[in-house]
Amino acid sequence: MATLFGAILFLVLCAGIMIPLERLFPRDGVRQSPSDAFACAALFVVNVLLMHAIGGSLLASAMIAPTWGPSSAPALLIAALVLGDLAGYLVHRAMHRVPWLWRLHRVHHDPVLLSWMEAWRVHPVDFLLHGLAVGLPGALMGASLSDVVALVLVRRAWTAFLHADVHIPCGPLVWIIATPEFHSRHHSHDPRHHGRNFSGTFPLWDRLFGTYADSRAPDARASADLGSQESEALIIGIQGAAGTRSPSAPRRGTIHTA
């Protein structure tokens, strides 16, 4: 019950920040339908419960000294954040390269135009694998379980910001940290941007491994919302179970973005 409450509280806090940002600094003026927003929120809650039940146990078993004790040393937390981001980069890149992983990850690439709630349109296995990748370095380095959870939550919150429909000039910060403009290139249907900008926090990894696309370059955006059959089935299932989808709602096509 505490995990369920925490997931809902996390969504509410994110909404309190992201909704005003999207209204004040819109990039495309995206307005997500209530049924899609509900489906993304429900999927996030389900994924958090799954991560708590399975991912939490796996991370705890990997810890050198699993404990909910005092906060780890700042240097350790910074190292865990950086290495967790590298692990997340590698897993994310594999999601686009390995066919069976792509079939899971393509759910997340359904929408063409992004909003912050689309950060949670993630297949449960995708959510679990990425969460484990981000948290595992900290666990192996001896961070406490509470600190590992905090690192994963910070990454999740930043993920919401990366998907937000906002245009906020960040100046030289674009060289240091991932921004919504940076991540929008990853979701672009412009062929020049396929397989680019996998980093979740630090663009350094894309620069080192040759997958960087300049977020300041023009983006040829698609004009239609073409989604995968996997995403369609997952979202329709959630909407149907909650009675939030109209029987006459149109289906979307299939597009490959790897």
pLDDT at residue 28, rounded to an integer: 84
Contacts of 210 by beta carbon, 8 Å cutoff, 6+ apart: none
User: How confident is the prediction for the chain on average, in pLDDT?
Assistant: 81
Q: What is the pLDDT of residues 91-126, one digit of tens each?
A: 999 999 999 999 999 999 887 678 999 999 999 999
Helix (H, G, I), strand (E, B) or coil at 166: strand
Q: Which residue has the higher pLDDT, 124 or 191?
A: 124
Q: Is the pLDDT of residue 184 over 60?
A: yes
Q: Is the pLDDT of residue 20 over 50?
A: yes
Q: Is the pLDDT of residue 66 over 70?
A: no
CA 152 to chain centre: 11
Average pLDDT over residues 149-173: 90
Tokens of 116: 């912050």
Q: Which residue has the higher pLDDT, 72 or 4?
A: 4
In this prediction, residue 3 has a pLDDT band, given cuts at 50, 70 and 90, of: confident
Please name the amino acid found at residue 257. Answer: T
Q: Is the pLDDT of residue 10 over 90?
A: yes
Is the dihedral angle over the CA atoms 164, 236, 47, 103 positive or is it negative?
negative
Give, for 209, the enclosing helix (H) or strand (E).
helix 204-209
Q: Is the pLDDT of residue 42 over 90?
A: yes
Q: Is the pLDDT of residue 222 over 70?
A: no
Q: Which residue has the higher pLDDT, 242 or 129?
A: 129
pLDDT at residue 247, rounded to an integer: 38
Question: Distance (Å, rounded) from C-alpha 6 to C-alpha 49?
Answer: 10
